[in-house]
Structure 1
Amino acid sequence: MKSLTALLAALAMTTATPSQAENWSIAIHGGAGTLERAKMTPELEAEYEAALQAALDAGADVLKQGGSAMEAIQAAIVILEDNPRFNAGRGAVFTWDGTNELDASIMDGRDRSAGAVAGVKTVKNPILLADKVRTESEHVFLMGKGAEDFSVEKGFEVTPPEYFATPARREALERMKAKQLSALDVDHKFGTVGAVALDMQGNLAAGTSTGGMTGKRWGRIGDAPVIGAGTYADNRSCAVSATGWGEFFIRVGVAHEICTRLRLGIAAPQDAADAVMQEVADLGGDGGVILVTPAGDALFSFNTSGMYRGRATSGGINEVAIFGGDAASSAAPEH
């Protein structure tokens, strides 16, 4: 009888459909905000779309080959951190004092292990350091010089400050100071980057990386490195990465709130994301989220006019988009 049972089990495995055996999905973002099509040249739009597609492809390739969700999101985020068009890694915005301070966080849905860093200035890819905090320390969150000392101990090269600086970001800071503008007047989008993924083993992961807000002062930290606000992953519910006005995302606990609603069965994935983003809007904040579910849904929700985003699934979806109403979008009501 045991041998017959084993044979039937083996036959069941061999007859499983590709969708059952190879289900994976990934979603990425490069920031949300006031994005106007009229101010976007065809050349610049093509450049952004190519950058998003490159990051999406890098993560999807990992998943297609049976790699883990953790590996996939890091592959995607590193590409966005290295691209000066996005406010993360190289191309990060300047603080009031004229420095680039970087934040990142990452979370594994299998065991809810997490790592985060804030205010680092010498780490080329903060998302990789956040993962090292997760895997090779007893802590979750390191900041400033301590995080940089930890990075050196773990073999990270010290990246000179000039690597991160770009003329466009410096001009934004100078314009802000000269005209006494707010960060929101200078930056009409939040260039935070992130990725969420489901791998073939059924595991979820999420990661987020940012340079913060132009002209930030007093060691300001937004939601990106805060587990539960900008990043969260739990195999029982979903994986979320957020981008937006960090203070409001922290107050709502956006990433964790969405996952909790799904875990408790309060709402369908899209409805949960839209409802939480509406809460952000009701408080006066804006931005967006990406999420994937254990079933392989790859979804977006944002209450701004656009969000740099993309998604790919084993079911054949592969798309990138920028503006609200484009193919990859699903927007919560604007405020």
Structure 2
Amino acid sequence: MKFKFLLITALIWAFAFSTSGQQKYALVIHGGAGVMSESAMSPERQTEYKATLNEALLLGEKLLKEGAEAPDVVVEVIQVLENSPLFNAGKGAVFTSEGKNELDASIMEGKTLNAGAVAGVRDIKNPIKAAREVMEHSAHVFLSGGGASEFARDRGLEMVKNKYFFTESRYQSLKQLQKRERERTEKDNTGTVGCAVLDTYGNLCAGTSTGGMTNKKYGRIGDSPVIGAGTYANNKTCAVSCTGHGEYYIRLGFARDISALMEYKNMSVAEACREEIRKLSEMNGTGGVIGLDANGNIAMEFNTSGMFRGYLKSTGEKEIAIFKNE
């Protein structure tokens, strides 16, 4: 009888422990890093950005509480940002030198190290969905251009005319830049979106989506769709998404390097992100990174005057910010 009592007690405690453990989750997002001035951005505009970031976070939290897996959350959260004209992804993507919108996206899950990416697409409404389809329903990791669109069409994704992505403010940025006949400004980094998630099953996932650089030429592709540069996830270390001057992130293998610093130097996710941003600064590159580890520890690091960012955790912690001093 005593044995039965002890066994039942142990089972109750084990169930309680596993249930409470399953409730642990964390979510961190970014909407791009660049030159941002609190005085130059109206309070109304700031409120608009923060409201959209909050919408994305709250959707992610709802899904996590319902038991959704990390890839589902990443895709749904990033779609909120892709569908907003505020960010350089999806609907608000910047223009190429030809006056077109070309989009890139990637996703990676930490449990299996499976990954998918698309680049240079002009007619996929939500590129992050296409990246996931590549990850889960193809033998490949990275598809580009017309081939990526054909694959997305075969998978039944929503396709749109390129003019769907048009926003007047992005178009005027292109015209002004071309008129000045100079390279893009740092401000044009702003807007790439990303998300990193720890779900209630202890799995990590990260995704990134972007329209790239204003006035980009020759089919240029940056770091966002490059696994190990702009996106990386590994349950043993972290999930990260990057934003900034992609050429530098590619050269550094930025996202994978953060994981390596954690794995081989036993750095925390915040320490590893700061170290990689330091390397970026040494190369005169600009941008930021978000990340989290399997314990839900959050990192949001950048070397610019601002980064649209936010996070929430199952503990109730939550933050949404834009400028460096927030």
Normalized against structure 2, the TM-score is what? 0.96
My pick for the range that moved more, 174-183 or 302-311, is 174-183
Distance 2:20 2:319 in 1: 19
**3-state secondary structure, aligned to 1:47:** helix
CA, structure 1 residues 8+104, in 2 after alignment: closer, same or farther (shift >3 Å)? same
Q: Which residue of 2 aligns with 1:259?
A: 259
Q: Which amino acid aligns with 1:135?
A: E
**Unmatched segments (≥5 aa) in structure 2:** none
Q: Which amino acid aligns with 2:190?
A: F
CA, structure 1 residues 254+16, in 2 after alignment: closer, same or farther (shift >3 Å)? same
Once the two structures are superposed, residues 218-252 of structure 1 have per-residue CA deviations (whole angstroms, 9 ceiling, x without a partner) of 01000000000000000000000000000001111
How much does 1:68 deviate? 0.8
Q: Which residue of 2 aligns with 1:39?
A: 40
Distance 2:242 2:17 in 1: 35
Q: Which residue of 1 aligns with 2:107?
A: 106
Matched, 1:215 2:200: no
Q: Which residue of 2 aligns with 1:237?
A: 237
How much does 1:83 deviate? 0.3
Once the two structures are superposed, residues 128-178 of structure 1 have per-residue CA deviations (whole angstroms, 9 ceiling, x without a partner) of 000000000000000000000101111123201111011111111111111
How much does 1:284 deviate? 1.1
**3-state secondary structure, aligned to 1:295:** coil
For the 8 Å contact 1:35–1:189, the answer to whether it is kept is no
Q: Which amino acid aligns with 1:319?
A: E
Distance 2:137 2:185 in 1: 37
Q: Which amino acid aligns with 2:254?
A: V
Q: Which residue of 2 aligns with 1:149?
A: 150
Once the two structures are superposed, residues 48-107 of structure 1 have per-residue CA deviations (whole angstroms, 9 ceiling, x without a partner) of 000110011111111111111111111110000000010000010000011000000000
Distance 1:61 1:207 in 2: 18
For the 8 Å contact 1:69–1:205, the answer to whether it is kept is yes
How much does 1:9 deviate? 4.6
CA, structure 1 residues 119+7, in 2 after alignment: closer, same or farther (shift >3 Å)? same
Q: Which residue of 2 aligns with 1:281?
A: 281
For the 8 Å contact 1:204–1:233, the answer to whether it is kept is yes
Q: Which residue of 1 aligns with 2:182?
A: 181
Matched, 1:118 2:147: no
Distance 1:317 1:194 in 2: 20
Distance 1:28 1:5 in 2: 45
**3-state secondary structure, aligned to 2:92:** coil
CA, structure 1 residues 171+23, in 2 after alignment: closer, same or farther (shift >3 Å)? same
Distance 1:18 1:138 in 2: 36
Q: Which residue of 1 aligns with 2:22?
A: 21
For the 8 Å contact 2:204–2:239, the answer to whether it is kept is yes
Q: Which amino acid aligns with 1:130?
A: A
My pick for the range that moved more, 187-196 or 27-36, is 187-196
User: What percent identity do the matched residue pairs reach?
Assistant: 44
**3-state secondary structure, aligned to 2:185:** helix
**3-state secondary structure, aligned to 2:105:** strand
Q: Which residue of 2 aligns with 1:318?
A: 318
Distance 2:169 2:286 in 1: 23
The equivalences for 1:288-307 within 5 A come to 288-307=288-307
Q: Which residue of 2 aligns with 1:332?
A: none
CA, structure 1 residues 148+16, in 2 after alignment: closer, same or farther (shift >3 Å)? same
For the 8 Å contact 1:298–1:313, the answer to whether it is kept is no
Once the two structures are superposed, residues 230-286 of structure 1 have per-residue CA deviations (whole angstroms, 9 ceiling, x without a partner) of 000000000000000000011111111111111224312211110111101101101
Q: Which amino acid aligns with 1:43?
A: E
For the 8 Å contact 2:189–2:243, the answer to whether it is kept is no
Distance 1:3 1:207 in 2: 48
Q: Which residue of 2 aligns with 1:74?
A: 75
CA, structure 1 residues 189+39, in 2 after alignment: closer, same or farther (shift >3 Å)? farther
Distance 1:257 1:312 in 2: 25
Distance 1:64 1:146 in 2: 37
For the 8 Å contact 1:35–1:188, the answer to whether it is kept is no
The Cα RMSD (Å) is 1.7
Would you say how many aligned residue pairs link Structure 1 and Structure 2?
325
Distance 1:46 1:192 in 2: 19
Once the two structures are superposed, residues 264-310 of structure 1 have per-residue CA deviations (whole angstroms, 9 ceiling, x without a partner) of 24312211110111101101101000001001112211111110000
**3-state secondary structure, aligned to 1:289:** strand
For the 8 Å contact 1:277–1:302, the answer to whether it is kept is yes
**3-state secondary structure, aligned to 2:289:** strand
Distance 1:121 1:5 in 2: 63
Q: Which amino acid aligns with 1:192?
A: T
CA, structure 1 residues 127+5, in 2 after alignment: closer, same or farther (shift >3 Å)? farther
CA, structure 1 residues 123+2, in 2 after alignment: closer, same or farther (shift >3 Å)? farther
Matched, 1:163 2:173: no
Distance 1:3 1:283 in 2: 66
